[in-house]
Amino acid sequence: MPKLRIKKSRRLIFALLFLLCLTFGAWLWWREREEALNFVRYEEFGIDMPVNYSIHGIDVSRFQKNINWAAVEQMQVERIHISFAFIKATEGITRQDALFKQNWQKAKKAGIVRGAYHFFYSTRDPLKQVINFQNVVQLEAGDLPPVLDIEVHNNQPPAVIRSTARIWLEEMEKAYGVKPIIYTNMHFYETYLGEEFDRYPLWVAHYYQKERPSTQRHWLFWQHSDIGRVNGISTTVDFNVFRGDSLALRKLCLP
């Protein structure tokens, strides 16, 4: 092989190695940044907040009573303000949250990205639970996907919980054309759901500990506190973060 070709090959190899090292270094920097979780106390919100995340939200039900959504949206402390809200809609086959409709309408009017959740029972007919949700919730473009709140086993074996949850999730995906979000804690997920549900976006409950949810399973939302405070709400409220930026949050919503 001529010397010129050898020199060119060496230069190409060195360039590729340099790019590889650069890429690996960037990945390490991102990983360290992701792993170095930092909580900061915000007295205005009444809790320590994980400031590694830029998108913050709440979840509410009738227990938060009448909410002034304009005040919720207008509250901002440094870079933290409420960008999204999950709102309880239904439970089981017959129950509807008494304040859902007004929360649903006023959250949108205030400019907060909204999502609706259903509290699920594996002891109830999953198709009737689908109907209950769809009769109450009118999802629109810009809303978050429907949420399956599944956190009680009611003495049912994992196989029953998986089969009933699967029906609810699949029916919702057919109806709205997006994968529903699963809300639960990691113990319940790993014990009663498992890998076959890994294709669904996960909203994980994990609070009272200043560390991320202990799981290799990718999650999108993290409920990190249930004792937060925000203007416009007279009670304590659950606080969440979204694992992404505002563009990723919008992309997750219904088209």
> What residues contact residue 252 under an 8 Å CB cut-off, 6+ apart?
144, 145, 201, 220, 244
> What residues contact residue 155 under an 8 Å CB cut-off, 6+ apart?
none
Extract the tokens encoding 204: 């994980």
Residue in 43, 44, 125, 151 annotated catalytic: 151
CA 221, CA 214: separation in Å to the nearest integer? Answer: 14
Decide if 48 is catalytic: no
Extract the tokens encoding 41: 């106390």
Residue in 32, 34, 35, 59 annotated catalytic: 59
CA 205 from centre of chain: 9
Decide if 190 is catalytic: no
CA distances from 61 to 79, 81, 86, 89, 93 (A): 26, 20, 9, 8, 17
Other beta carbons within 10 Å of 52: 15
CA 63 from centre of chain: 21
Extract the tokens encoding 42: 């915000």
CA 213, CA 207: separation in Å to the nearest integer? Answer: 9
Q: Are 181 and 218 in contact (CB under 8 A)?
A: no
Extract the tokens encoding 166: 């699967």
DSSP symbol at 6: H
Q: Are 187 and 204 in contact (CB under 8 A)?
A: no
Catalytic residues: 59, 151
